Amino acid sequence: MVATDINKRAEELRRRINHHNYLYYVMDQPEISDAEYDRLFTELKRLEDEHPGLMTPDSPTRRVGAEPLAAFVQVRHPQPMFSLANARNEQELEDWRRRIGKLLGDAGFDPAQTAYVTEPKIDGLAISLVYEEGRLARGATRGNGEIGEDVTANLRTIRSIPLALRLKRGEAPPAVVEVRGEVYLPLAAFAKLNERRAAAGKSTFANPRNAAAGSVRQLDPQLAARRPLNIWCYQVGYNEGLDFASHWEALKWLKEHGLRVNPLVKRHSNFAKVVEECNAWEARRAGLDYDIDGAVVKVDSTELQRVLGIVGRDPRWAVAYKFAPSTAITHLLKINVNVGRTGALNPYAVMEPVMVGGVTISQATLHNEDDIHRKDIREGDWVVVQRAGDVIPQVVGPVVQKRTGRETPYKMPESCPSCGSRTVRPEGEVVVRCPNKSCPSQIVESIKHFVSRGAMDIDGVGEKLVESLFKLGLIKNMADLYFLKPEDLVGLELSSSLNKQGKKVPHRLQRRSVDKMFAALAASRDRPFSRVLFALGIRHVGSINARLLAGRFHDVDALMAASRDEIASVEGIGPIIAEAVREYLEEPHNLETIRRLRSAGLRFRLAGGEAAGGKLAGKTFVLTGSLESLTRSEAREKIEALGGKVSGSVGKGTDYVIAGEKPGSKLSKAQELGKEIISENEFLKLIG
C-alpha cells in the first residue's frame, strides 16, 4: 500500500471509529458489534504503529492513556467557572424568582415572559474542555473557579468526550470554544470500584463524586483509563465566533457537535413548570445510574443573563435547587443479625442516628460476612452510610482515618440467635444459615413474605400483626391465617405503651381492622397460581421463576410429580433452583401447608387467563412513572398473565412504554428510539 493510500485509510478508520464512539458513548445507539469495532480499532493501531507520522492529536487510539505525570500544571480558565447560589426548598426557589423578577422589571423587561431551563445537578467533578479549531486542546478541573489543573491526558481517556467536534460537511470549526461539563462515575461502576479497593486493602471512596474526582486527578492516565468515567455537558463558555440567543440554543449546538447533553434537560415558559420539574428530578433520583444532588435552574435568554449579571462568585441568572444528601458519616455501635425465611443470617449495622436523604437512619444492611470483611468494617468504626437508590440504607465502608485502635473485627455467630441451633455455611455460599426448619424466626419471616404486597398482598396483615399472632400462638404457619375467626381477634391485645402518667395502655385490635383483614384474606383466594407459588417462599424461587414453573407445569400436582431433571429443563430454571423446589416439596410439613392452603380455597392450578399464548404474547413492555389505578406489580401481573414480558429498560426489543405521572429517563429513551408510548388508560383498553 502506497503512502497516500495508507494515509487515506487511516483517515477513514479514524472517521468511522469516532462516528461509532459517538453512537455508542453519547447517543447509546450502537450500529456495529463490539467485534467489528475492535477490528477497526486494531487496524488503525497497527497502521499508526507502523507509520508514526500518521498519528493525529484526535486519533481514538490516543485514549488509552499517556505516560504518568510528575504533577499537574495549573492553567487559567478563559472565563471564570462560577459557583451557584442554593435554594433548599420551594420557598427559597420562589424567593430567587422574585429577586430576579424585580431586577428584570427595573431594567424594563417583563418578568412574566422569562423562560427557564432545568437540568440535573450532577454530583461529580466540574471540568472545562477547550477546543481549538475543532480539536480538544486542553481539559482542566474547576479548581478555584479561575485557575484549575490541566488533566487533559486523563480526560482524553473518557470515551464520551470527543477528541474532535462533529462538524457538518463544509462547516468551519470555531477558532476556540470552551465546553463546561461534569465528569461522573456511574453508580454500578462506583460499587464495583469500592469492592476492588476493599479487597486490595485500600480505603473505599465515600461517594461517587470523590471516586470521579480521584479518577480524574490520577497522575497516571493509565489508571484513569481503567475507570468507566462519563460526562454530561451543560454549558458553552468562552468562544470565538459563536453567538447564541439562549442557553437552550447553546445546548442544542453542543448536542449537534458530538457533546453529551442530558436528554431530560427541559425548557419552560413559566415558573410553575420549573418548580414541578425540580420536584420531578428529586422523585426520579432513585432510578438514575448517576448521582445528583439537586436540579439547576437557569434563565434561558443570554440577553437577560447579561442584564442580571453576577454577584460575588454567583451568577444571578442561575440557582441550584439542592436535595437532601444521600450519604453521611456516623458511628457504628454494633453489628446484629436477623434470621430470614430461608434460614439466612443477615447482618445489619446499629448506628448512631444520622440524617441521610432527609430521613433519620439508625440501622443499615451489611449484606453478608464476606462483604463485611472485604470492606473491613468493624464494630466501633466511623462509617459512610448511603441510601441505596435513595431507599435502602447500606454501609459503604469505614472511615479508616478516624480509627482509634479500639474497633473490633466482626465474626458471625456460631449459633442461631432465634433457636440456638448451630449455624452452618454451605460450601460455595457466602451466607451463614440456621439449618433448623422449625426455627421461629424462619417461620415468622415466611409468613411475612406470604402476606407481602408482591406475594399474596393481604392488606391489613402487617409485620407487627404477624409477629403478635405468632407470639400469642394463634398462627403457627401461613395456612393458619385462613382458619382464624373474627371473634378470636376483636379486642385482642397486641402491645402496650406507657402514657404520660406512666400507666400501661393496651393496644387492641378494633373491629374495623379485623373486618379489613378478613376482606383481604378473602380477596387473596383469587391470586393466580404463580403468585401462590411465589408466596410459598421456596428458596431461589422469585416471582419470575414462579411464573416459569406455573407456565410449564400448570398445577401443583404436576410440579410435585416432576423430577429434578424435568424441573431443571424449564428454560430459566436450572439445577440449583430445581434442587430447591424438590427439597421444599419433599418436606412433610410443607406438603401439609399446601394441603391446608388448597382446602382454604387458594389457586394451585393455572387459570385460563394465565395460559401461554395470550393476546400480549411476544410483546415487551416497559413501565415508567406512577400509575393511577394499578400498582407496578399489578400491571406486570396483567401483562405476564396475557403472555407479555416486562423489561426494566427501553431497547430495540421494546414494543410499548406505559408512561404514568412523572416518568423517568425511560420516556426520553423511548422517544429517541421511536417506541410506541401509551398511557395507563390506553394500556387498559389494549388488554380489554
The residues, any chain, with a CB within 8 Å of residue 415's CB and separated by 6 or more, are 421, 422, 423
Q: Given a cut of 70, is residue 437 above it in pLDDT?
A: yes
Q: Given a cut of 60, is residue 461 above it in pLDDT?
A: yes
> 634 by DSSP, 3-state: which?
helix
CATH of domain 440-524: 1.10.150.20
Judge residue 374's burial from the number of C-beta atoms within 10 Å of its C-beta, 0-12 exposed, 13-18 middle, 19 or more buried: buried
- Topology at the third CATH level for domain 327-409: OB fold (Dihydrolipoamide Acetyltransferase, E2P) (2.40.50)
Distances (CA, A) of 58 to 117, 135, 236, 615: 32, 7, 21, 52
**Helix H or strand E segment including 347:** strand 345-356
The two beta strands, 176-184 and 125-132, are antiparallel
List the single range of 45-59, 141-155, 600-614 with lowest mean pLDDT.
600-614
How many other C-beta atoms lie within 10 A of the C-beta of residue 104? 22
Whether the CB-CB separation of 474 and 488 falls below 8 Å is answered with yes
- How far is 602 from 525, CA to CA, in rounded Å? 5
Sorting pLDDT into bands at 50, 70 and 90, what band is 70? low
pLDDT reported for residue 250: 97
Among 57-66, 166-175, 308-317, the range with the most confident prediction by mean pLDDT is 166-175
Distances (CA, A) of 612 to 553, 560, 564, 608, 618: 12, 21, 23, 9, 10
Q: Given a cut of 60, is residue 25 above it in pLDDT?
A: no
Judge residue 14's burial from the number of C-beta atoms within 10 Å of its C-beta, 0-12 exposed, 13-18 middle, 19 or more buried: buried
- How far is 114 from 271, CA to CA, in rounded Å? 8
Per DSSP, helices labelled H in 187-337 are: 187-199, 208-216, 221-225, 247-256, 271-284, 302-308
- How far is 247 from 243, CA to CA, in rounded Å? 11
- How far is 316 from 297, CA to CA, in rounded Å? 11
Whether the CB-CB separation of 229 and 185 falls below 8 Å is answered with yes
pLDDT reported for residue 388: 56
Q: Given a cut of 60, is residue 530 above it in pLDDT?
A: yes
Whether the CB-CB separation of 471 and 443 falls below 8 Å is answered with no
Whether the CB-CB separation of 528 and 555 falls below 8 Å is answered with no
Q: Give the mean model confidence (pLDDT) for residues 121-147.
A: 91
Sequence ranges of the chain with CATH classification 1.10.287.610: 3-64
How many helices (H) and strands (E) are present in the chain, helices listed first? Answer: 24, 26
Q: Give the mean model confidence (pLDDT) for residues 460-466.
A: 88
- How far is 296 from 120, CA to CA, in rounded Å? 6
How many other C-beta atoms lie within 10 A of the C-beta of residue 316? 20
% of the chain residues with pLDDT over 90: 44
Half-sphere exposure of 681 (CA within 13 A, CB side): 1
Note if 121 is an active site residue.
yes
All three cell numbers of 505: 395502655
Q: Report the candidate in 337, 335, 336, 413 with the shortest Cα–Cα distance to residue 378.
A: 335
- How far is 573 from 119, CA to CA, in rounded Å? 43
Sorting pLDDT into bands at 50, 70 and 90, what band is 65? very low
pLDDT reported for residue 66: 46
The residues, any chain, with a CB within 8 Å of residue 453's CB and separated by 6 or more, are 631, 633
**Helix H or strand E segment including 655:** none
Sign of CA dihedral 282, 288, 291, 292: negative
> 67 by DSSP, 3-state: which?
coil
All three cell numbers of 13: 478508520
Q: Which CATH architecture best describes the domain 529-609?
A: Orthogonal Bundle (1.10)
The residue with greater pLDDT, 301 or 616, is 301
pLDDT reported for residue 2: 63
pLDDT reported for residue 71: 73
- 405 sits in the region (left: phi over 0; alpha: psi -120 to 50; else beta) called left
Q: Which CATH architecture best describes the domain 85-322?
A: 2-Layer Sandwich (3.30)
pLDDT reported for residue 195: 78
- How far is 593 from 601, CA to CA, in rounded Å? 13
Sequence ranges of the chain with CATH classification 1.10.150.20: 440-524, 529-609
Set 8, 102, 121, 252: catalytic member? 121
- How far is 499 from 503, CA to CA, in rounded Å? 5
The residues, any chain, with a CB within 8 Å of residue 264's CB and separated by 6 or more, are 120, 281, 665, 668
pLDDT in tens, 196-240: 877 776 767 767 888 888 888 887 778 888 888 999 999 999 999
% of the chain residues with pLDDT over 70: 93
Sequence ranges of the chain with CATH classification 3.40.50.10190: 612-686
pLDDT reported for residue 67: 52
- How far is 468 from 584, CA to CA, in rounded Å? 26
Q: Given a cut of 70, is residue 28 above it in pLDDT?
A: no
Q: Give the mean model confidence (pLDDT) for residues 377-394.
A: 80
For domain 3-64, the CATH superfamily is Helix hairpin bin (1.10.287.610)
Domain 612-686 in CATH 3.40.50.10190: yes
Q: Mean pLDDT score of the chain, rounded to an integer?
A: 86
